[in-house]
């Protein structure tokens, strides 16, 4: 009898009922199945096409945000100075 046959007969279990076998064979098998699932997802759900005019639209968004920032400056100044003590306020011009 060789060493492999002795190991199987000493535990009394067939090879497919040995817990170590499921770690050695089962976990990599699960990873392969997960890989095929990921491949299936990638093949059935293609990426959205980038708009051919993306550069002009991006520039327009940037210009719009600059205009919004300029419009909000008085509100931000008022918010920042709402809690400023009177003694720290600059003198008023009449």
Q: Are residues 40 and 60 in the same domain?
A: no
pLDDT at 31: 96
pLDDT at 17: 83
Residue 10 in domain: yes
Q: How far apart are the first and last CA of the chain?
A: 110
pLDDT at 5: 53
Q: Are residues 4 and 36 in the same domain?
A: yes
Domains in the chain: how many in total?
2
Residue 35 in domain: yes
Which parts of the chain have pLDDT scores under 70? 1-11, 62, 64-84, 88-89, 94
Residue 56: name the closest of 64, 68, 66, 47 by CA.
Answer: 64
**Structural domain of residue 5, as residue ranges?**
1-44
């Amino acid at each position: 009898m060789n060493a492999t046959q002795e190991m199987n007969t000493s535990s009394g279990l067939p090879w497919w009922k040995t817990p170590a076998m499921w770690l050695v064979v089962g976990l990599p098998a699960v990873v392969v199945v997960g890989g095929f699932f990921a491949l299936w997802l990638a093949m059935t759900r293609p990426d959205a096409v980038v708009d051919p005019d993306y550069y002009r639209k991006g520039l327009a968004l940037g210009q719009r945000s600059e205009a919004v920032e300029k419009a909000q400056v008085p509100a931000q100044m008022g918010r920042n100075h709402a809690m400023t003590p009177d003694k720290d306020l600059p003198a008023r011009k009449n």
